[in-house]
Structure 1
Amino acid sequence: MRPGAARRCRGEGRVAHYGHCGSGNVKIKVETANDGDQERCVTPGDTVLGFTENGSKVKYASAIGAC
Structure 2
Amino acid sequence: MADDKPASFAMRVFSACLLLLLSVLALWLAVEVLAQFWGWLLLIAVVVALVGSVVWYARWRRDRGW
Q: Provide the TM-score with structure 2 as the length reference.
A: 0.15
Larger Rg, first or second structure (1 or 2): 2
Q: State the structure with bigger RCO (CA 8 A, min sep 6), 1 or 2.
A: 1
Query: Comparing both structures, which one devotes a greater share of its residues to strand?
Result: 1
Query: Comparing both structures, which one devotes a greater share of its residues to helix?
Result: 2
